Amino acid sequence: MTEQQPDWYSLMRDAPLKTKTFTMRNIERIEQRVAETRRGSKNGMIIIAAIAAASALAVIITVFALSISSAPIQVVKSTAQPPIASQTETQQPADTLNEHPYKLKGQVGAVEKPDFIYGAMPPKFMADPNQDYKITAADGEFVQIVPVVAPDQAHTGWVPRWYLLLDSSEGAVRIKDVPTYEMIVNTRVFFRLYPDQPKPSGFELEPGKVVQVTGQFEQWVRVNIITYDSPNNGDKWVPKSALTDWDPSKAREGFLRPGAKIYDEQGNAIGDVPGNNPIQINPVYSGNRYPMSSAGGFSGYINNKDFVPNPFRYDNGKFPKNANGQTYGSASDASTPETEPDLIRAYGVDGTVGYVLKKDLDGEMPKTPEEALAMQKNRHPGGRDIPLYDVDGQTVIGVFHIDG
Amino acid sequence: MRALESEYWKVIERFDAEAFRELMLTYGQEIWNYAFFLTKNPDYADDITQEVFLKVYGQIGSFRGESSIRTWLLAITRNMTFNYRRSTFLRRVVLVGAVSRRDSHPSAEQEALTNTLSNELWEIIMNLPVKFREVLVLNARYELSQREIAGLLGLSEGTVKSRLSRARQKVSVAWKEGTVYDRATT
């Protein structure tokens, strides 16, 4: 439920200051600095920019203006923009749609509105590939689905039309969920919301980006990625041919080695990566330091030896270890589920503070849709109890309840 | 609304002068405002804004299209503000003898700040501790969702939600009472 905004909120859209403070004078001063630095400043940032431009690897963002004559290299979609549809259709009322129920090619997040698929909003619910769905509306490349059995508003949402399983025969190709594994982007590729999406809705992944494969459909794989500027909740599909097997020497994303320093352009140490978040590096430059950046616009330089590849699996030393070598701590200190500690701090049913095993909390992950369905059916509506341990991960001190 | 707002971003090899100026015209004031929200100092905001656009001009492959250009600029501004605080440049420009202290009378600096703000609400907000001020401004003024704010600040969504709730509470209390909230150091 959206929290109601206070009545004074709208006043914050007024300019905070009485007078305009960023004027043409500011703009001209900046332009003058740019001109000066282009004339041969020793500023390291400008030298880096010049090197990058000369090597034809420079990719600098600009606002598109009608008068710009430079040929665009790529079209990058902004999350603020409406979704790209290969064919624009107006929303069709339900009675003009095929009433045939459909299953889905795989599990997919259904959203409140088609726009949400591209934005920062999480799915409204996860549509079950083994349930029958009715189409209640269509809009471009999206359809609104509702379960045939027990339809309700909570399970009404939009998914890409592609997910409809049009061929319900035994041999129909479905998405295969796989135990996660990492690969590396080998050739530049735009990710898509679904395989064969005519115009990719995602942004471009560059060589060296680490992807975590979670599913496969013909020659496509569904991946998780690390984002640094803004979360992206839609599915991401890339052709497997654009990826190469995991090779730490090719990875450009990972973590900073615990205790390592980050430096500014002048070589001064500037502190830790905020939140111990994953980092990305640019290994183009020679020398013993990489330029790096992290979430929140944080950037600097690190020593080559302090880069630890793979942003999905590395124990970055944030959590202490017990005598058995298990990490323990609070899940809220983890930047992703994959970096949660082995023992997660929790309160037992009687308020006892202890730890639960992450693997107990996550439970067994289904390996097939049939398995998932069976697990869902067998799930007890009252939830389940798991042991609450002391920090040693062995002494049971209570019970932790997981709701159904 | 400028035509630029409705266009998709395109990536080109070089920033030409016209495009760079258009970027500054479109976003310059908001970047300045954000730097001011974080530092409460118009001189620092001037310098930080300049550094942000210089960095944007020279940045290499940094905009990945994950977010809107505005969110990306806000992220750079935030980072630049932290670096700025650590830099020797900051130490050079701080006036000798300017000591930040809590007392019952507003300092000359505080009075100058108050006189430049456009309404009493901004006075309340600018006196919040920065960690509350920032999430409130990003939500109320820049209309970022809690999830977007979490991504921008590198925080968990729960932390953002908690800070936003507390920020709103503090402002609501002060706004109703018609008083300036207790001053807090940044």
Q: Which residues in chain B have Cβ-Cβ distances shorter than 8 Å to A83?
A: none
CA distance A297 to chain B (A): 5
pLDDT of residue A90: 42
Q: Domain limits of chain B?
A: 1-94, 101-180
Q: Which position has the token pair 């909390």?
A: A361
Residues of B in contact with A58 (CB under 8 A): 13-14, 60-61
* Domain B101-180 in CATH 1.10.10.10: yes
Task: Provide the pLDDT for residue A310.
Answer: 82
CA distance A79 to A77: 6
Whether residues B10 and A75 touch (CB distance < 8 A) is answered with yes
> Which residue among B10, B37, B147 sits closest to A64, beta carbon to beta carbon?
B10
Quickly tell me which residue has 């019952």 as its tokens. Answer: B104
pLDDT tens figures, A193-229: 999 999 888 888 989 999 989 899 999 999 988 877 6
State the DSSP code for B97: T
pLDDT at residue B130 is higher than 70? yes
- Tens digits of per-residue pLDDT, B18-68? 888 888 999 999 999 999 988 888 888 998 999 889 888 876 345 566 667
C-alpha B60/C-alpha A280 separation (Å) is 13
Asked whether the beta carbons of A67 and B22 are under 8 A apart, the reply is no
Chains A and B form CB pairs within 8 A to the count of 282
Could you tell me the residue ranges of all domains in chain A? 24-54, 253-309, 328-402
Question: How high is the ipTM of this complex?
Answer: 0.77
Confirm or reject contact between A35 and chain B (CB < 8 A).
no
**Per-residue confidence (pLDDT) for residue A122, from 0 to 100:** 67
CB contact under 8 A, B79 and A299: yes
- B15 neighbourhood in chain A, CB within 8 Å: 60, 62
Strand, coil or helix: what is A239? strand
Across the interface, whether the CB atoms of A76 and B141 are under 8 A apart is answered no
Indicate yes or no: CB of A271 within 8 angstroms of CB of B86.
yes
**Cβ contacts of A298 on chain B, cutoff 8 Å:** 79, 82, 154
Spatial separation of the C-alpha atoms in residues A174 and A63, rounded to whole Å: 41
Give the domain B1-94 fold: Rna Polymerase Sigma Factor; Chain: A (1.10.1740)
Strand ranges for chain B from DSSP E = 9-12
Phi, psi of A113 (to 5 degrees): -140, 155
> Distance, in angstroms, between B5 CA and closest chain A CA?
9
Subunit contact B118:A52, Cβ cutoff 8 A: no
List chain A residues with CB under 8 Å of B72. 61, 229, 297
Q: Does A6 touch chain B (CB under 8 A)?
A: yes
pLDDT bin (cut points 50, 70, 90) of residue A92 is very low
A182-191, A333-342, B8-17, range with greatest mean pLDDT: A182-191
Residue contact B83–A270, C-beta within 8 A: yes
Structure tokens at A355: 């730890």
Residue pLDDT, tens place only, B148-168: 888 788 788 888 899 999 999
Rounded CA gap, A229 and B24, in Å? 20
3-state secondary structure of A387: strand
- Nearest chain B Cα to A47, which residue? B58
pLDDT at A36: 78
Please choose, from the candidates B176, B166, B108, the residue with its C-alpha nearest in 3D space to the C-alpha of residue B134: B166
Which range of A108-117, A134-143, A149-158 scores highest in mean pLDDT? It is: A134-143
The residue with tokens 């949400």 is: A116
B125: closest CA among B61, B172, B57, B56? B172
Contacts B20 to A, Cβ<8 Å: 31, 34, 62
- Written as six digits, the tokens of B172 are 């609501």
Tokens of B173: 């209390």
What class has domain A253-309? Answer: mainly beta
